[in-house]
Amino acid sequence: MLYFSKLRIFLVSLITLVLVFIAFSNLFNSEDSFFKKKINLGLDLQGGSYLLLEIDNEPVIEQKLQNLTSTIRNYFKDKNINLNNLKLLNKSIIFDVEIDNIDTVLASFLDENSEINPYYPRFKSHQMDVTENSGNFEITFSKQGLVNLNTSSQDQAIEIVRRRIDEIGTNEPNILKRGNNRILVELPGLDDPMRIKSLLGKTANLTFRFVTQNDDEDNFGVEKLSYEDGSEEAFVSKRIILSGDNLLDAQPRMDTQNNETVVSFSLDRVGAKRFGKATSTGVGKQLAIVLDGKIISAPVIRDAIVSGSGQISGGFTFQSATDLALLLRSGALPAPLNIIEERTVGPDLGQDSIDAGLIALIIGFCLVIIFMFVKYKVFGLITNITLVANLFLLMGILTIFEATLTLPGIAGIILTVGMAVDANVLIFERIKEEIKEEKNNVIAFDSGYIKSRTAILDANITTLLAAVILFFMGSGPIKGFSITLGVGIFTTLFSVYFIARLLTGLYVVKNKDKVGLI
Amino acid sequence: MIPFNKYYNQFNIISIVLIVFSLGLLFFKGLNYGIDFKGGTLIELRSTDNKINVSSLRDSLSQMNLGDVSVKKFGNDQDYLIKFEINDAKNDVIENIKNNLENSYGNNFNFRRVENVGPKVSSELLRSGIIAISLSLAVMLIYIWIRFEWQFSLGAIVALFHDVIVTLGMFSLFSLEINLSIIAAVLTIVGYSMNDTVVIFDRVRENLRKYSDIKIFELTNISINETLSRTLLTSITTLLALLAIYIFGGEILRGFSFAMILGVIFGTYSSIYIANTVLVRLNVTQKTVLREENKD
């Protein structure tokens, strides 16, 4: 019926007014605004950088397998079981045992309390899968073992990434996990991500090791490493005297004696002790400072350093010393990160996009409004009021959810304006037909609303289905489009069935007997 | 009443030709995938120096071993779009380009936008795009199947495929770039086209129940005419909004709004001339609708 209860009029007005109010809060600074929430602008509108990082876990897997190989060797040595041909081959550990020992060895891997092969009761899986064929064993990472490894290295990596980005002090960074080996970094307002990219591109694995004269001096093994500038190579012991984990602090500093920039560091108690011992026994030796497999510098030890602090020199500029100090303070990444996707939008392009989007919105809106008014006069006016209300409702809801508005999102709003008319047009056209047969305006209006309902629902459900799929399948900007399109459908239905219906109802009841009403 | 049904055969032939032509284009010419789906690097550059132009940019970039570099004007006279495919996305390639250009032109340009998509991400984006479109077609199919009798469903689906194929065919014909926002546009077209078809079908079904003595050939024409003003009005307002985006919404939204405009035009056309003719060719009668109701 076209007569409405006072309560319904009150509720519809209340909801509309509240949402319009909330929509307006976007115009004010959120601190002193009456409503604290705000629509976020996507990176394509406010400018900024989007980086997708992938953790390269291959080295971690390799390292874990190496460790496990020696664990296995020691474990069975203690049990007096002989493992033959124990070696690492293509990501699996293989060895042979004598027939008598097969069951014992199998049991020590497959026991739920296994010391060498952790069991995850939640997933009913061991860390490693074991296959045995007449005494030939093959140990590989199980599916769950790999998942756990990925997850833990992702957890560590995201923490380090967060620390590094916080150190630079960018504006409200957004750092999120993606899948189990990716990290998404969003940096609003940053138009040149070069520095961050280079900081995130370094593992920052720092070690202090002695330089040896040739390749067989040390029983820990020796490797040949090149200097950072690529000028020379040197043999360096694999024995790690000190690693980045022992650092308490690192800062860039001007060394007034040599007039060069250095990175000074201080060590924790364990580190200081070790460093003191190594430097006192190694006076006269060269101590290599190795970062990510490259020698930064290899000074000769003149005195024992027991203070627990020191400095690294290596021909730094102030910038590179600052960055190295930052990397050392924030710690090493568990695995290298690769940037697999980057999207950066400068602030002026963002502003241009906002301007273009707003102009398109205003012009599109005006065109539609003029068209509707010319076509339907009074009812066109009602439709237009509904459209304006719809726009504010949409903004209000986006504000409540603190949704992110992107450029395609603005396009979604404009499209909503165009398509929101559809429901009203369906109703009005139907009413026109009804009036031809039914002389009573009120009844004609009522049946027009009722008979057009299925078509309107169908139309909106089909669009909503597309929006939902976009939301779940799409990324970034496309998500923004699907949100405005989807929310727009609900606000459209509300504004058509509550606001427009109320207004048409009031008008029609007042002009019950007017001929040619629409 | 406009005799739409007089031209059913002619327009069916035109549509078949269009579809064959589009499929041929898609098969032989293929689509022009942007870096979202192909991988590579895109730089939008704005210059304040008239020494910078397409050929000078091409010259300075060609010495950098970037492979196949494309340089184009982009909207505004001083804006250029640089695109190239690099497989091993070195993290400092953008910085190198910046330094190289600074050496040649000084500080008379800035990078307004930089996008770099690795091969892994691009193939994932392509896959999820294809899944999204197939999934939405499937969902529409299920929805329409639940709502209508199978003859109607078939009509709607044929119309839907017609719109998607012909729109993509147009993109292939004009070598327009397919990127993420085009996928969004195609999905919206799917929704719009379906919506248009459903409104007419709703009326066809209603009229089928009302008149037992009118043949489907006439009946579709009556229904098209009864819903015609709605069809035109909605298409016009939607097109007005889309034209506003196309003209004023900036270069980034241009491809998106172009795809949508094509989609709305084909969607409107197909709901009149494709969806309905399927009903005619399947010889839908009042029984089709009533039988379905007796079953419930």
Among B117, B146, B181, the domain boundary falls at B117
CA angle at residue B88 from A90 to A340, to 5 degrees? 85
Please tell me which residue of chain A has the smallest CA distance to B118. A340
How far is residue B262 CA from its own chain's centroid? 7
pLDDT (0 to 100) of residue B108: 84
DSSP B154-208: HHHHHHHHHHHHHHHHHHHHTT-EE-HHHHHHHHHHHHHHHHHHHHHHHHHHHHH
Domain identity same for B171 and B59: no
Phi, psi values for residue A136, rounded to 5°: -95, 120
Same domain, A22 and A79: no
Question: Does B176 share its domain with B251?
Answer: yes
A516 occurs within a structural domain: no
Check if B230 contacts A (Cβ < 8 Å).
Answer: yes
Taking CA atoms, B163 is separated from B168, B180, B228, in Å, by 8, 19, 19
3-class secondary structure per residue, A484-505: HHHHHHHHHHHHHHHHHHHHHH
Nearest CA-CA distance, residue A492 and chain B, Å:
14
CB contact (8 A) between residue A470 and residue B184: yes
Interface of B with A in 118-137 (CB under 8 A): 118, 120-121, 125, 128-129, 131-132, 135-136
Among B197, B245, B247, the strongest candidate for a mutation testing the A interface, having the largest count of A CBs within 10 A, is: B245
**Shared domain check, A372 and A355:** yes
Q: How far apart are CA A387 and CA A417, in angstroms?
A: 7
Q: Let me know whether A117 and A258 are in one domain.
A: no
With respect to residue A515, please indicate whether it lies within any of the assigned structural domains. no
Which residue, among B290, B58, B35, B11, has the nearest Cα to B182 in the 3D structure? B35
Summarised one tens digit per residue, pLDDT across range A92-122 is 999 998 888 888 888 888 888 888 888 888 8
Residue A52 lies in a domain: no
Distance CA A43, CA A476 (A): 9
Same domain, A235 and A172: no
Rounded to a whole number, what is the distance in Å from the CA of A255 to chain B's nearest CA? 31
Whole-complex ipTM: 0.86
Q: How many domains does chain B have?
A: 2
Q: What is the pLDDT of residue B296?
A: 46
The verdict on A87 and A190 lying in the same domain is: no
Q: Is residue A421 part of a domain?
A: yes
**Domain boundary at B74, B102, B117, which?**
B117
User: Secondary structure of A156-173 in the HEC alphabet?
Assistant: HHHHHHHHHHHHHCCCCC
Query: Is pLDDT above 70 for A217?
Result: no
- Shared domain check, A293 and A265: yes
CB of B233 less than 8 A from some CB of A? yes
What CATH number is attached to the domain comprising B216? 1.20.1640.10
Whether residues A14 and A43 share a domain: the answer is yes
Range of the domain at B99: 40-117
Regions in chain B scoring below 70 on pLDDT: 87-91, 291-296
| pLDDT one-digit tens code per residue, B225-275 | 999 988 998 899 999 989 999 999 888 888 889 999 999 999 999 999 999
Nearest chain B Cα to A460, which residue? B195
Query: Is residue A475's pLDDT more than 80?
Result: no
Whether B230 sits inside 8 A of A425 (CB atoms) is yes
Written as six digits, the tokens of B105 are 């032109």
Query: CB B194 to CB A462 under 8 A?
Result: yes
Same domain, A142 and A155: no
Task: Determine the distance in angstroms separating the CA of B202 from the nearest CA of chain A, rounded to an integer.
Answer: 6
Together in a domain, B139 and B232: yes
Nearest by CB to residue B248, choosing from A360, A455, A478, is A360
Regarding whether A505 and A363 lie in a shared domain, the answer is yes
B202–A415 C-beta distance less than 8 A? no
Say whether both A228 and A318 belong to one domain. yes
The two three-digit tokens of residue B198, written as one number: 């459903």
Does the model's pTM come out above 0.95?
Answer: no
Pair B9, B145 in one domain? yes
Q: Are A477 and A408 in contact (CB under 8 A)?
A: yes
Same domain? For B149 and B73 the reply is: no
Residue B103's CATH number: 3.30.70.3400
Q: What pLDDT, in 10s, does the model give residues A17-76?
A: 988 888 888 877 666 666 678 888 888 888 999 999 999 999 889 888 988 988 888 888
Instruction: List CB contacts (< 8 A) between A473 and chain B.
Output: 128-129, 131-132, 135
In a domain? residue A291: yes
Is residue B9 domain-shared with residue B53, that is, in the same domain? Answer: no
Res A70: pLDDT: 86
- Residue to mutate among A43, A44, A54, A340, with most B CBs inside 10 A, is A340
**pLDDT tens column, A430-461:** 888 888 887 788 888 888 899 888 888 888 88
**Residue A249: CATH number of its domain:** 3.30.1360.200
Candidates B113, B183, B241; nearest CB to A415: B241
| Cα distances (Å, whole numbers) of residue A209 to A199, A275, A420 | 24, 11, 70
Cβ-defined contact of B132 to A419 (cutoff 8 Å): no
Pairing of strands A84-89, A404-405: unpaired
- Whether residue A53 is contained in a domain is answered as no
Same domain flag for A139 and A156:
no
Structural domains of chain A, count: 4
Kindly tell me if the per-residue pLDDT of A297 is higher than 70: yes
CB under 8 Å, gap of 24 or more: what pairs does B52-57 form? B52/B78, B52/B80, B52/B105, B52/B108, B52/B109, B54/B80, B56/B104, B57/B82, B57/B101
Query: Are residue B182 and residue B83 in the same domain, yes or no?
Result: no
Least CB-CB distance to B199: which of A338, A455, A466? A455
* Contact map slice: B 35-64 vs A, CB within 8 A: 44, 46
Q: Does A353 lie in the same domain as A449?
A: yes
Identify the domain containing residue A188 by its residue range.
Answer: 150-200
* Listed residues B83, B117, B151: the one ending a domain: B117
